[in-house]
Amino acid sequence: MSLRKAGRGAFAFIFVAVLVDSIGFGIILPVLPRLIMQLTGVSVDRAAVYGGWLSFVYALLQFFCAPVLGNLSDRFGRRPVLLFALLALGCDYLVMGFAPVIAWLFVGRMVAGVAGASFTPAYAYVADITAPARRAQNFGLMGAAFGVGFIVGPAIGGLLGGLGPRAPFFTAGAIALANTAFGYFALPESLPRESRRPFHWARANPLGTLLQILKFPPVSWLLGALFLWQLAHQVLPSTWAFYTISKFHWSSAEVGYSLAFVGLVMAVAQGVLTRVLIPWIGGERRAAAAGMAAALIAYIGYAFATEGWMMYLVSLTTFLFALTYPSINALASQQIPANAQGELQGAVAGLYSLSSIIGPPLMTQVFGHFSARSAGVYFPGAAFLTAALLTVGSALLFARAMRFAPQRAPASAATPEV
């Protein structure tokens, strides 16, 4: 099947695949703190530290494996790599659901980390079938899939949490495995054999990938800005549930509903407003800057919220800071030739993994320290202030990147419209 014929249908499947994957991830977020507390018998501030190390183990392995997946997709095609990643995630959720001790949770995170994440070949797939001028919008739609998943997933997880903290894990595993089976029959290959290239370890190890990609200036500054942006963003998945349980005494259902609300705002922003706001604001450069400003306001607002309803109010700002990631990703992709898009997305995934290695332990340690009743200064919102400082650093690197970036992207090989 040609790319032109398969383009729209293939993009629709990738959107659904990422959507289902994010639903599975979102389902477990509201109940993870209580499962950790059940297995360890510790308080919520100490459970947050365990949660940070669980994310660390996952991200450490993903950091080394995600670039391998990106380069394997450049060599063997996107389809087999994407299906493998989805299968591993399904196994991960089931292992965690059966966990009798905390060590099983770490094993489950390792399983998922080795596989990397399905968004690595998924974003490369989108780059294959999308014209350069439309990549920001379609990357935004991919982000919308995550947002929609965060509407449905946490809400379901909060409700299933009433059956016990393990029920959402079994549901997530079933969803991920069903998604894998569907993809096996429905997903065409997007990378023609003549466009593939040999696998080289220099491009497949995380540092080698970054070094190869950095030969395309000003990608280095853009990736630096993206790294700090992603590092700051780690405060949300790593501390939100622990923070709201500790400060507002929310139940699993209340945590789930709040995450669902954030997902709704993100989905509307990335799935609907991205296509309108990026051109209206003046392109990817201004959209990314506006998103960073909104994120700074949001993190400070979360840090100083005194009532639960304030978390909902502050979350409305995410409709703007949702523009930053697809805009920076699109700007970087415009500097990279067509046959290296998988490598670029592997590098982006590697940076995300690196931020996920550093971010959750950093944020949960900050949260745990300032949330303990024995702390000299009791301020659970300290992790959000840390994220605000990192956002300022990201904005500075982005501004420097724009000083060296060409005003227009270089000419690219013809790519079908999607």
For residues 267, 272, 276, 282, the Cα torsion angle rounded to the nearest 10 degrees is 20
pLDDT at 311 over 70: yes
pLDDT at 246 over 80: yes
For residues 325, 328, 334, 337, the Cα torsion angle rounded to the nearest 10 degrees is -70
More confidently predicted of 316 and 266: 316
CA distance linking residue 311 with residue 301, whole number of Å: 8
Asked if residues 392 and 229 have their Cβ atoms less than 8 Å apart, the reply is no
Structure tokens at 238: 């790593």
pLDDT at 289 over 60: yes
> Any residues with CB less than 8 A from the CB of 395 and at least 6 apart, and which?
225, 289, 292, 293, 296
pLDDT at 303 over 80: yes
The pLDDT > 70 percentage for the chain reads 84
Q: What is the pLDDT of residue 202?
A: 62
pLDDT at 322 over 80: no
Q: Which residue has the tokens 């959402």?
A: 168
The pTM for the full model equals 0.76
- At residue 244 the predicted structure's pLDDT band, cuts being 50, 70 and 90, is very high
Q: What is the CATH number of domain 10-184+209-404?
A: 1.20.1250.20
- At residue 417 the predicted structure's pLDDT band, cuts being 50, 70 and 90, is very low
Q: Range with the lowest mean pLDDT among 144-148, 197-201, 354-358, 410-414?
A: 410-414
CA distance linking residue 171 with residue 163, whole number of Å: 12
User: Strand, helix or coil at 412?
Assistant: coil
- At residue 285 the predicted structure's pLDDT band, cuts being 50, 70 and 90, is confident
> Helical H runs in 161-234?
167-186, 201-204, 206-213, 219-233
